[in-house]
Amino acid sequence: MTHISTDDVQRMAHLSNLKLDADEIEPMRVDLQNIIEYIGQLDELDTDNVEPTYQVTDLQNVWRDDVVNTYDLTTDALVGLAPEIENAQIKVPKVL
Amino acid sequence: MVTISDFAHMTAVEAVTQAIEKARSHTDFNAILSLNEERALERAVRIDKGEFTGRLAGIPFIAKDNFLTIGGTTTAASTMLQAFEAPLQSTAIEKLEAEGAICIGKANLDAFAHGGSTENSAFGPTKNAIDLTRVAGGSSGGSAVAVALGIVPFALGTDTGGSIRQPASFNGVIGVKPTYGMVSRFGVVSMASSTDTIGVLSSTTNDAELVMDIMSGQDSRDGTTLPDYFTPTTLETGLRIGVVSEAMTGSVDDDVRRAVNNSVEAMAKAGHTVERVSLSMLKYALGIYYIVVPAEISSNLGRYDGIRYGTRAQSESLTEVYGLSRDKGFMPENKRRIMIGSYVLSSGFFDAYYLKAQKARTLLINALNELFDQYDVLVMPVAPTPAFRLGENTNDPVQMYLADIMTVPASLAGMPALSIPTGTSDTGLPIGVQLIGKRKSDALLLALAKQLEEKR
């Protein structure tokens, strides 16, 4: 049986870009432990030589012409969705 | 409940006004997150002036709040998007508007459609239309309750693992999940890209069929849409119907089994060949689903970082802006699913969980296809129980997930499925029966549903 430790939770939170509060960790650990235990039931299935299914449409390579379609949207309307803007650009904290 | 034809003889302004008044008189159910009265009335006036018309001219409807709409917020019932105003509309809404339908407001859901009870909404749970102490089901709980209360004749929902069918069953309305790819997903908040579908909840099968007919079709903005195929049909001959034995065992509520059996009897009486069939893969469907879907969720929800849109937490550090925005913007269930997704996709666990699940998914689809070689329609309950009590499952995610066990198979296989009311429990709670068809047999399922509706 897979055991989920507090460190595992921290690692998953890190991979998920989630900064959890300290009091969120333990309840999350218990929930994740239970969920991972449940999904582990698939071990009972023999899947040797079975191809995985990633999509169900049978469609392949849906092409379109390489033409820009703005759908009547302006750059201002899209940039304007950002929480912080300056000079028509999205403002973020210092990166370097 | 109300139907599209109930509104047809009214002016559009009268129809919209009636629906909005009714919505305002039922706020205790918390089914509706926002009303867009100004835009709705503006469109109604233009329809009454004859500026445009269509098959749904002046008919009010409500969309789940994960459909992008213009003239109000699209919150996905989350803090992350609580102030988000979309710059464009989803294809489904555009198509309905082109036929004269009027979106009067947005319905509550589990945040980002993660859940089966509408208790995971950042804006409080929606209450069941029949019993205020019980859940609406979910994640399209608000849409189901809005139809059940007679506010609108139809409401839009999304169904990734049962999110239309289960609340439809819990509130006594019809819920239709189409074949994956029949309706464009463009402009709908993505959850799990390989199983997300757009469908309808309504009071009559006729209305559901009309709305699906209008919404269906290939869309250049969604590369997974199938070439047009949906055409309403009628039943010419008896169908071969299989009732899934594994879905009718003692672990399913007595009232649910009785209600489903009543509808199976009605099918036999109507001249269909009904037999018990076995789907031994059923017990693995939920395990497959809760690997594949969180994996896709963890990827799709990566876009919510507080930078380009949504709520941003304040910090000097960019990494902290991401981490804190996501911690504050997501509900606990969103975080659970994202983290499970990260886990099953992470190095060292990918083969054991994600690849294993996608292979098991093939086995499930093969098993379903084998049944569909012999049968036209499969019958199962929609959920093992009628609507459960508010709070009953909130502390146990696995118990909550188990409510999806009957609905996830069709989702994983991309097959059409619908829920139609078939009876009530001893205590008067609605129970639906689920019809599942092979891919692209949507019209046949609706025709069978229509026949059962007439026999009731």
Fold of B1-456: Amidase signature (AS) enzymes (3.90.1300)
Residues of chain B with pLDDT > 70: what percent? 100
- Tell how far CA B343 is from the center of its chain: 27
B288, B308, B318 member nearest A82 (Cβ): B308
Residue A58 confidence (pLDDT): 87
* Partners of residue B305 in chain A, C-beta under 8 Å: 17
pLDDT in tens, B17-48: 999 999 999 999 999 999 999 999 999 999 99
What ipTM score was computed for the predicted complex, to two decimals?
0.96
Q: Residue count of chain A, please give it.
A: 96
Mean pLDDT (chain B, rounded)? 97
B426 φ, ψ (degrees, to nearest 5): -55, -30
Residue B392 burial (CB < 10 Å; 0-12/13-18/19+)?
A: middle
Distance separating alpha carbons of residues B96 and B102, to the nearest angstrom = 8
Tell me if B342 and A12 make a contact (CB, 8 A cut-off). Answer: yes
Residue B355: DSSP 8-state: I
Residue B240 confidence (pLDDT): 98
Distance separating alpha carbons of residues B115 and A3, to the nearest angstrom = 25
Residue B320 confidence (pLDDT): 95
Each domain of chain B, given as residue ranges in start order, spans 1-456
Residue B217 confidence (pLDDT): 98
By CA distance, what is B415's nearest residue in A?
A56
DSSP string across A14-83: HHTT----HHHHHHHHHHHHHHHHHHGGGGGS--TT------SS--------S----TT--HHHHHTTSS
Of A58-72, B178-192, B320-334, B364-378, give the lowest mean pLDDT range. Answer: A58-72
Tell me if A12 and B353 make a contact (CB, 8 A cut-off). Answer: no
Chain B nearest-CA distance from A77, in A, is: 7
DSSP string across B123-135: T-PPBPSS-TTBB
Of the residues B339, B363, B372, B404, the best mutation for testing chain A's interface (the one with the most A CB atoms within 10 Å of its CB) is B339
* Partners of residue A38 in chain B, C-beta under 8 Å: 286-287, 290, 398, 401
What mean pLDDT is predicted for residues B1-29?
A: 97
Chain A nearest-CA distance from B240, in A, is: 24
Q: Is the pLDDT of residue A51 over 80?
A: yes
B202 preceded by a cis bond (ω within 30 of 0): no
Q: Is the pLDDT of residue A1 over 70?
A: no
* Partners of residue A55 in chain B, C-beta under 8 Å: 194, 224
More confident residue, A95 or B456: A95
Mean pLDDT (chain A, rounded)? 93
**B64 has catalytic annotation:** yes
- Under 8 Å between Cβ of B180 and B423: no
pLDDT in tens, B52-106: 999 999 999 999 999 999 999 999 999 999 999 999 999 999 999 999 999 999 9
By CA distance, what is A69's nearest residue in B?
B221
In the block, tokens 């925005």 appear at B325
pLDDT in tens, B128-150: 999 999 999 999 999 999 999 99
